[in-house]
Amino acid sequence: MELDLKGRTVLITGGSKGIGFACAAAFAGEGARIAICSRSPDNVSRSVAALPGAFGIAADLTDAAAAAGMIGTVETRLGPIEILVNSAGAAKRAPPDELTPGLWRAAMDAKFFTYINVIDPLVKRMAGRGNGVIVNVIGIGGKTPSQAHLAGGSANAALMLATAGLGAAYAANGVRVVGVNPGLTETGRVAEGMEALARLEGISPAEAHRRSVERIPIGRMASPEEVAGAVVFLASGKASYITGVTIAMDGAQHPSVL
C-alpha cells in the first residue's frame, strides 16, 4: 500500500530501541525524513548508525525546557515536524506493596510528562501550520489494570484521556491525535515486567513469561515491527478520518467493543 509518506518529517521520541526504533525504521522504509530522540547519547548514536540519513538528538524529555529545545533543534535541521510518534519513557514496575508516593510521581514523570512535554509545544505549532499527526504509543495497562504496573498504568490512562481530548480540540486545525495500546511486546522492557510479576506471584521470571503468553489468545507476544506497522498506517493519509481514539493491540487478551 502506498502511504504517501515520502519526504515527510517524522520525529520519534524513544526512537533508539524497541517499538520506537521499529517505528523509525518503518518510516524510513517509506522514504520519510527521520529524527530520533532518546535520553542516552550512546543509544542515539547506535540507532542513527543503523538508519543512514536519520538525525539523532539526546534530550531528557522529563524536562519541559529540554523537550522544547529539542523540537526547535529538529525543526531547524529538518524543517517543520509533520508527524510525531511518542514512544519514550517507561515507568518502573512494582507490586502494589512496593509502591510509594515517590514511585507514583516518578511514573508520571517517566511516562506522562515525557509525552506531554513534547506534545504541548508541538501540537500548537502543528495547529498554526494547519496540519500534523501525533501518534502516542501507550501501553495497554492504561485500559486494563495490572497489579504489577499500577503506577505506570495510571500514567498511561492519563495519556489516553489526553489523546482523546487533544484529538477533539485540534481536529478543526487539521491536526490528528491518535494512540495505540500495545499489549505484551517482545522488547527489552518485557524482562523488567516479568520480574515484577514474578515477585507478585511468587514464581520465577521464566514462569511469569510463560503464563503471560498463555493468557494471550493469539498465542504469542507482538513484535515491535507489528506495532510499528499500525503506527505508520495511523500516521498516513489512509487514516485521515481517525483521531481522538486509542486502538488496542493486545492479541485479543482484553476483547472489547469500545
Is residue 255 domain-resident?
no
Is residue 254 domain-resident?
no
> Would you state the pLDDT for residue 254?
81
Say which residues have a Cβ less than 8 Å from residue 64's Cβ, sequence separation at least 6.
113, 117, 120
Q: Which domain holds residue 231?
A: 9-249
Indicate the residue type of 14: G
Is residue 174 domain-resident?
yes
Is residue 3 domain-resident?
no
- What CA–CA distance (Å, rounded) separates 174 from 127? 7
pTM of the model: 0.92
Count of the separate structural domains present in the chain:
1
- What CA–CA distance (Å, rounded) separates 77 from 97? 47
- CATH code for the domain of 154: 3.40.50.720
Is residue 20 domain-resident?
yes
Is residue 29 domain-resident?
yes
Is residue 257 domain-resident?
no
Is residue 228 domain-resident?
yes
> Would you state the pLDDT for residue 200?
76
- What CA–CA distance (Å, rounded) separates 168 from 231? 19
From first to last of its 258 residues, the chain has per-residue pLDDT tens of 689 999 999 999 999 999 999 999 999 999 999 999 999 999 999 999 999 999 999 999 999 999 999 999 999 999 999 999 999 987 777 788 888 999 999 999 999 999 999 999 999 999 999 999 999 999 888 788 877 778 889 999 999 999 999 999 999 999 999 999 998 888 877 777 777 778 878 898 888 888 888 899 999 999 999 999 999 999 999 999 999 999 999 888 888 776
